Amino acid sequence: MNSQKTEISSELAKIPEWKLKEVDELVNLFKKYKNIAVIIVSSINDRQIQQTRRILRGKAELKMSKKNLQSRAIEKYQSETKKEGLEELIESIPGQSTLLFTNMNIFEVKRLFGENKWMIPARPGAKTPVDIIVPAGDTGLPTGQVISELNMTLKLPTRIQNDTIWVREDKLTHKAGDLVTIKEAAVLKKLGVKPLESLIRIHFAWCDGEILTEDIIYMDMEQFQKDIQLAFMNAKSLALEMNIVDKDTIEPLISKGHREALALLFELPIFVDTMLDEYMMKAQNNANTLNAMIFGETVKVQPSQTEEKKKPKEEKKEEVKEEEISGIGDLF
């Protein structure tokens, strides 16, 4: 036992002091915050990192470290807290990445990143994912050898005005998928053309034991909501077919039962006095169907007998009132 302790202490003595200190700092950040996001920084410049720190000030902390130190810190934190999912967090950390520590909801962090996009120049020797357009106007570049670069390399329509080079009209230099050569990228950068969006993306997140992968974090929520609604409608249709009663199917099932009862009643050789309006409506619908099939016309709605019976009674009441009034007039 003493020999094992001696070996461990000797190994620790070989590790530089700054590495031990950095691991301890990472462990303290793990203890301070409940959510950790892995951000790949290989395509992000230093200015973006600094801007991101300002945006997240007081809300989150970015800590850039080597992968082996991050892994050691996670292992140490796991041994102390026994938290779940930390093995997956270690496996998800790529070579060039930074850890973001926060108590904010990860989806809120994603929203903040989405609102702070950077425009960057085209990458030399790579295919452009978007169309590249050089806008018309003053380039601000003085006349000289530069004009031949613009004409020869990008084939821009140019003119000289006030001792500077102007582009006469908007020019599409590259379509999405075209290769941008090193020389073309240099000229585009000289013109200040920045066609690419650089967005800080969350590669992976660990939220107090819960794992969030990139496809979940950047899920299309509108499409997801549509899928949920469609799934609900399909499930409801299936429940109605199987006559399963719950709070969502009770009213449609009652309506369905009513319709089926009426259909059965119309097929039976009986007559129910209280269903006179339903019989009239059924007859009218049948007549409309036949008329539409034969003549392309519909039958006009006829008043029911109950309505016709009511009208003479009302007229008689009016006649009685008139007689009463005229009778009183005769007294004078």
- pLDDT tens digit string along 310-324? 455 454 444 444 444
Residues 6+ apart with CB under 8 A from 125: 179, 180, 181, 182, 185
- Is 322 part of a structural domain of the chain? no
Q: Work out the average pLDDT over 263-287.
A: 73
Rounded (10°) CA dihedral 265, 266, 268, 270: 90
- Is 262 part of a structural domain of the chain? no
Least confident among 3-12, 16-25, 62-71: 3-12
Same domain, 23 and 113: yes
- Is 224 part of a structural domain of the chain? no
**pLDDT recorded at residue 10:** 53
Same domain, 128 and 80: no
* pLDDT greater at residue 256 or residue 137: 137
Same domain, 125 and 165: yes
Share of the chain above pLDDT 70, in %: 81
Same domain, 84 and 210: yes
Q: Looking at the chain, how many residues does it have?
A: 332
The Cα 82–Cα 151 span in angstroms is 65
pLDDT per residue as tens digits for the range 149-163: 888 899 999 999 888
**C-alpha of 243 from chain center:** 35
Q: Work out the average pLDDT over 37-59.
A: 83
Q: Tell me the CATH number at 59.
A: 3.30.70.1730
Q: Output the average pLDDT for the chain.
A: 80
pLDDT tops 70 at residue 40: yes
DSSP codes joined into one string, 169-189: S-EEEE-TT-EE-HHHHHHHH
CB 308 within 8 A of CB 314: no
- Is 243 part of a structural domain of the chain? no
Kindly state the DSSP code that residue 138 receives in the 8-state scheme: E
The Cα 12–Cα 109 span in angstroms is 37
**pLDDT recorded at residue 50:** 84
**CA-to-CA separations, 301 to 281, 289, 295, in angstroms, rounded:** 9, 14, 17
pLDDT tops 50 at residue 326: no
Same domain, 52 and 104: yes
The Cα 205–Cα 199 span in angstroms is 17
* pLDDT greater at residue 258 or residue 70: 70
Q: Tell me the CATH number at 180.
A: 3.90.105.20
pLDDT per residue as tens digits for the range 160-179: 988 899 999 999 999 999 99
Q: In what order do the strands lie in the sheet with 97-102?
A: 60-64, 97-102, 35-40, 202-207, 210-213
Exposed (0-12), middle (13-18) or buried (19+): which is 232, by Cβ within 10 Å? exposed
pLDDT tops 80 at residue 61: yes
Structure tokens at 246: 């719950």
Domain that holds residue 208: 13-117+199-217
Residue 37's identity, in one-letter code, is A
- Which of 169, 198, 227 is the last residue before a domain boundary? 198
- Is 139 part of a structural domain of the chain? yes
pLDDT per residue as tens digits for the range 271-282: 666 677 777 787
Total domain count, the chain: 2
- Is 6 part of a structural domain of the chain? no
Kindly report the backbone phi and psi dihedral angles of residue 57, in degrees, each rounded to the nearest multiple of 5, phi listed first.
-60, 125
- Is 301 part of a structural domain of the chain? no
* pLDDT greater at residue 181 or residue 260: 181
| Short-list 22, 200, 229, CA closest to 114 | 200
Same domain, 27 and 167: no
pTM (2 d.p.): 0.57
Same domain, 103 and 139: no
Same domain, 97 and 22: yes
Same domain, 82 and 143: no
The Cα 127–Cα 117 span in angstroms is 20
- Is 44 part of a structural domain of the chain? yes
* pLDDT greater at residue 307 or residue 75: 75
Same domain, 83 and 137: no
Q: Given pLDDT bands bounded at 50, 70 and 90, which one contains residue 11? A: low
Least confident among 141-150, 164-173, 297-306: 297-306
Angle at CA of residue 319, ends 315 and 325, nearest 5°:
145
- Which of 217, 252, 268 is the last residue before a domain boundary? 217
Q: Given pLDDT bands bounded at 50, 70 and 90, which one contains residue 74? A: very high
The Cα 192–Cα 188 span in angstroms is 6
Same domain, 103 and 71: yes
Exposed (0-12), middle (13-18) or buried (19+): which is 189, by Cβ within 10 Å? middle
3-class DSSP state of 317: helix
Share of the chain above pLDDT 90, in %: 28
Least confident among 11-15, 61-65, 142-146: 11-15
- Which of 217, 246, 265 is the last residue before a domain boundary? 217
Straight-line distance from the first to the last Cα atom of the chain, in angstroms, rounded to the nearest whole number: 133
**pLDDT recorded at residue 30:** 92
The Cα 112–Cα 167 span in angstroms is 36
**CA-to-CA separations, 31 to 26, 72, 86, 163, in angstroms, rounded:** 9, 15, 13, 62
Structure tokens at 185: 């990228």
**pLDDT recorded at residue 320:** 45
Give residue for tokens 């819960």.
210
Same domain, 99 and 193: no
Residues 6+ apart with CB under 8 A from 262: 278, 282
